[in-house]
Amino acid sequence: MELTLLHLYPDAMSLYGEYANLSVLRRHLEALGVTVHLEKVTCENVPDFTRADLVYMGAGTEGAQKAVLLGLPHHADALRDALDRGCLLFFTGNAMEILGRSVTDAKGRTWNALGFSDFTTVETDKRTPGDVIATSTLWETPTVGFMNKCSTTSGITTPLFSALPLGFGNDAEHGAEGYALGNILATHITGPVLVKNPDFTDLIIRRLFAAKGWSLPEQLPVLPHEREAYAVTLRELQARLK
Amino acid sequence: MRMFLAIVVCKLLRFIGKLVGKGSSLPGQYALKVCPDVLRRVKLPPYIIAVTGSNGKTSTVEMIASILRAAGKDVVYNAEGSNQIEGVTTLILSRSSLTGKMKGDVLLLESDERYAKFSFRYFHPTHFVITNLYRDQLTRNGHPEWVFESILPAIHQDTTLVLNADDPLVSRFAQGHDPEKVKWFGLERCSISTDTPRGVYDDGQRCPVCRGRMVYSCYHYHHIGHYHCESCGYHRHEPDFAVTELDLKAGRLVIGGDTEIRLSFRSIYNVYNILSAWSVCSLAGVEKSVMASVINDYILKNGRMVRFALGEHHGVLLTSKHENSVAYDTNLDYICATEKPCTVIILVDAISRKYFTGETSWLWDIDFDRLSCPQVEKVVLCGKYVNDLAMRFDYTSVAPEKIVCYDTAGQAAEALKAAGGEDLYVLTCFSDRDKLLSLTTRED
């Protein structure tokens, strides 16, 4: 069993520990006996999605995201072809915004995005970094994390999280967050969200195995410290809610 | 009249505040209510030096104050760390006459990156030192480019910028500024320089101006080094003030090719703090010999480095702001420069002392692989976030058998006290350090 994970533009889109999402995913997959190929595509390179089973892009600064918006739409067709053949797209932080129709910056300039969905994003000159508890639509347990954004995203009808008991959603405090449709999973949660949420990692593993038609063991691997770390963060954030 | 009233209110509240042991922001806050533009009306000293940046503000300001005082100048500075406009107002007005003239030769300000634009709305520094910008406290700061944009409105065209030439993002402040009013400091290629970046991430890969690919001829640490952009030509400037030789191991540096300085704290941070203090003090007219006599063996007195004893152990606590991977990496380098066997203790319990957050992403930005060296015999992880730490270490090259975990600092201290006598190094933040230090005997 072999899988190729493609990390798109880590040289530009790396705000805080994004790489660790793929480190953790890789270790879980290896525990299941999968040989993992991790490929990094920097901004100078033309991405080759033909072998990718998962394409990941993390958060960047607003400036870095605009540079990606200038380049990546040229490869939109190739990325869509990959999606159509079952490749999973996992975008976090403001990489999520790139999946929509457009991003408008705080000065009012609009940038065309990939157009994989009709949602649009508008940046503001206010930043709202903060802890997050999110109610997942695709798995049971709450998701914990941190969001570091200065934008609102409108027009999403299929969010990844139905509500944020703690935090600012796509366009409202406590509102729905992220985007999930078909093979696309996206959230504005920043940084190593999979490190903090083993159930989120498991969901991605299930998706990857399903796409390949591989069968999974009933019990997915539980790696040391992950569940305990998750429990502490969830407890601390929930105490904050009260 | 309003200025007069504001000064009276400030002095009175400051007097009462000191009696009851209250902070330094409140008097300024009320004074600003009485006269919002009081800082424009007050006559300030001929030198107004501000220092901002992600790391080294407090240490640099303290060093500048020591040098200027040794040169006979009357220096007023915000030693209490009140670096927002209210605290600055208190500082200025409590040192002003009732007619609105501030006493002193130099007003020296440690300035918060995000609040500088408010502090300098009604007056501006004659000299603005910007030390560095990197990943620091994302929970407050967002990211370094966001901080850059926050500082930008605080810069007045008449201010002389004193910039770190080796930091590409800091160097951007010179764009559009009168070149005559920009002075650069930097470190020439030296013993610590590397051809490739060290660390978990590399924030120097993309040009901060055009996003093109950046090329470094050498790195000093993280994205600090000698760079140029392949696309737009953006490049490091030749420094006006340079460290021309550096031997961290021997604790020796040379400034400008002719002045040797001994380092009591052998850290790259200290080198840049010294160099930035040297640069701005030179610009204020201080003689080299005076600066050198103060900086030689200069010992930081701000409690960032504390010596202690625990059982048979002697230890050093290095304060490394949580949420700041560069600070951690720098202190890891300091530890690894030791040749004696040691145990390293990492404590993450409260991520900040000023606000709540459960955010631990920054642990993944720290290059803990640096602890994978023979003299580090044991790594003790402790605190509320011990599981996050343990998980992070599972992804390093540090041998698992060297790692021991405890839920609290108390349990870790008890276990260490009971056995062994090797040197200890503690890495933690202001928010957590007393949880361990309170269980030890101070040796400073």
Q: What is the mean pLDDT of chain B?
A: 93
Phi first, then psi: give them for residue A176, nearest 5 degrees: -60, 155
The distance of A85 to chain B (nearest Cα, Å) reads: 32
- pLDDT tens digits for B236-262? 999 999 999 999 989 999 999 999 999
CB A160 within 8 A of CB A136: yes
Phi first, then psi: give them for residue B419, nearest 5 degrees: -150, 150
- pLDDT tens digits for B141-189? 899 999 999 999 999 999 999 999 999 999 999 999 999 999 999 999 9
Q: What is the pLDDT of residue B114?
A: 86
Q: Which residues contact B178 (CB under 8 A, 6 or more apart)?
A: B157
What is the chain B residue with the closest CA to A20? B364
The distance of A45 to chain B (nearest Cα, Å) reads: 12
CB A96 within 8 A of CB A179: yes
Taken in order A120, A124, A129, A132, the sign of the CA dihedral is: negative
- pLDDT tens digits for B60-75? 999 999 999 999 999 9
Place of tokens 């540079």: A67
Q: Is the pLDDT of residue B20 over 80?
A: no
* CA–CA dist B91, B190 (Å, integer): 40
Which residues on neighbouring strands pair with residue A81, listed in sequence order? none
Residue spans of beta strands (DSSP E) within B320-361: 342-347
A-chain CB neighbours of B356 within 8 Å are 131, 240
What is the chain B residue with the closest CA to A233? B358
Burial annotation B90-120 (CB, 10 A radius, 16+ → b, else e): bbbbbbbeeebebebbbbbbbbbbbbbbbbb
Q: What is the CA radius of gyration of chain B?
A: 22
CB B333 within 8 A of CB B268: yes
* CA–CA dist B397, A196 (Å, integer): 21
Q: Is the pLDDT of residue B444 over 80?
A: no
What is the chain B residue with the closest CA to A194? B361
Q: Is the pLDDT of residue B57 over 80?
A: yes
Q: Does the distance separating the beta carbons of B205 and A12 come in below 8 Å?
A: yes
The predicted model gives B44-69 an average pLDDT of 94
The predicted model gives B298-311 an average pLDDT of 82
Q: Is B201 on the interface with A (CB under 8 A)?
A: yes
The predicted model gives B306-319 an average pLDDT of 95
Three-class DSSP category at B328 = helix
Q: Does the distance separating the beta carbons of A233 and B358 come in below 8 Å?
A: yes
For residues A172 and B21, the model is more confident at A172
Q: Which helix (H) or strand (E) holds A29?
A: helix A19-31
Q: What is the largest CA-CA distance in chain A?
A: 51
Phi first, then psi: give them for residue A145, nearest 5 degrees: 175, -160
Per the structure, how many domains does chain A have?
A: 1
CB A6 within 8 A of CB A55: yes
In terms of DSSP H, where are the helices of B228-384? 268-283, 288-295, 325-336
Share of chain A above pLDDT 70, in %: 100
The distance of A41 to chain B (nearest Cα, Å) reads: 13
Q: What is the pLDDT of residue B370?
A: 96
B-chain CB neighbours of A232 within 8 Å are 384-385, 387-388
What is the chain A residue with the closest CA to B145? A61
Tokens representing residue B265 in the block: 């704290």
Q: Does the distance separating the beta carbons of B201 and A12 come in below 8 Å?
A: no
Q: Is A144 on the interface with B (CB under 8 A)?
A: yes
A-chain CB neighbours of B363 within 8 Å are 17
Give Cα A117 to chain centroid, integer Å.
Answer: 15
Angle between helices B85-94 and B2-20 (to 10 degrees): 100
Q: Does the distance separating the beta carbons of A146 and B391 come in below 8 Å?
A: no
What is the chain A residue with the closest CA to B206? A12
Burial annotation B32-63 (CB, 10 A radius, 16+ → b, else e): bebbeebbebbebbebbbbbbbbbbbbbbbbb
Q: What is the pLDDT of residue B53?
A: 94
Which superfamily, per CATH, for B305-442?
Mur ligase, C-terminal domain (3.90.190.20)
**How many Cα atoms sit within 13 Å of B95 on the Cβ side?**
22
Q: Is the pLDDT of residue A140 over 80?
A: yes
* CA–CA dist B411, B391 (Å, integer): 20
CA distances from B419 to B207, B312, B313, B317, B393 (A): 51, 8, 9, 19, 24
CATH fold for domain B2-295: UDP-N-acetylmuramoyl-L-alanine:D-glutamate ligase (3.40.1190)
Tokens representing residue B370 in the block: 């640096």
What is the chain B residue with the closest CA to A21? B364
Of the residues B143, B145, B351, B389, the best mutation for testing chain A's interface (the one with the most A CB atoms within 10 Å of its CB) is B143
Is this prediction's pTM over 0.90? yes
Q: What is the pLDDT of residue A98?
A: 98
* CA–CA dist B437, B426 (Å, integer): 10
- Sheet holding A54-57: strands in order across? A35-41, A2-8, A54-57, A88-92, A184-187, A179-181
What is the chain B residue with the closest CA to A235? B358
The distance of B366 to chain A (nearest Cα, Å) reads: 9
Q: What is the pLDDT of residue A45?
A: 93
Angle between helices B26-34 and B85-94 (to 10 degrees): 80
* Residue A237, domain CATH: 3.40.50.880
Work out whether strand B441-442 and strand B305-310 pair parallel, antiparallel, or are unpaired.
Answer: antiparallel
Three-class DSSP category at B381 = strand
Q: Is A128 on the interface with B (CB under 8 A)?
A: no
Q: What is the pLDDT of residue B81?
A: 63
Q: Is the pLDDT of residue B302 over 80?
A: no
Band (pLDDT 50/70/90 cuts) for residue B426 is very high
CA distances from A178 to A124, A241, B423 (A): 18, 21, 49
B-chain CB neighbours of A228 within 8 Å are 387
CB pairs under 8 A between A and B: 112
CA distances from A239 to A230, A233, B8, B356, B359 (A): 14, 10, 45, 11, 15
A window 161-180, beta carbon within 8 A of B = none
Q: What is the pLDDT of residue A159?
A: 97
Q: Is A127 on the interface with B (CB under 8 A)?
A: yes
Band (pLDDT 50/70/90 cuts) for residue B303 is low
- pLDDT tens digits for A212-239? 999 999 899 999 999 999 999 999 999 9
Q: Is the pLDDT of residue B321 over 90?
A: no
A-chain CB neighbours of B360 within 8 Å are 196, 229, 233
Of the residues B359, B365, B384, the best mutation for testing chain A's interface (the one with the most A CB atoms within 10 Å of its CB) is B359
A window 29-58, beta carbon within 8 A of B = 42-44
Q: Which among B356, B365, B384 is the nearest to A17, CB-wise?
A: B365
* CA–CA dist B444, B441 (Å, integer): 9
The predicted model gives B327-346 an average pLDDT of 94
Band (pLDDT 50/70/90 cuts) for residue A111 is very high
Q: Which among A11, A63, A146 is the nearest to B361, CB-wise?
A: A146
What is the chain B residue with the closest CA to A70? B211
Q: Does the distance separating the beta carbons of B364 and A17 come in below 8 Å?
A: yes
Q: What is the pLDDT of residue A235?
A: 97
Q: What is the pLDDT of residue B78?
A: 81
Structural domain of A170 = 2-241
Q: Which among A11, A42, A148 is the nearest to B142, CB-wise?
A: A148
A-chain CB neighbours of B208 within 8 Å are 63
Band (pLDDT 50/70/90 cuts) for residue A52 is very high
The predicted model gives B24-42 an average pLDDT of 90
Of the residues A146, A149, A166, the best mutation for testing chain B's interface (the one with the most B CB atoms within 10 Å of its CB) is A146
Q: What is the pLDDT of residue B80?
A: 61
Residue type present at position A125: D
DSSP assignment of B108-166 equals EEE--TTTHHHHTSS---SEEEE----S--HHHH--HHHHHHHHGGG--TTSEEEEETT
The distance of B195 to chain A (nearest Cα, Å) reads: 18
Q: Does the distance separating the beta carbons of B138 and A16 come in below 8 Å?
A: yes
- pLDDT tens digits for A145-172? 999 999 999 999 999 999 999 999 999 9
Q: What is the pLDDT of residue B151?
A: 96
Sequence ranges of the domains in chain B = 2-295, 305-442
Q: Indicate the burial class of B423 (C-beta count within 10 angstroms; 0-12, 13-18, 19 or more).
A: middle
Q: Indicate the burial class of A84 (C-beta count within 10 angstroms; 0-12, 13-18, 19 or more).
A: exposed
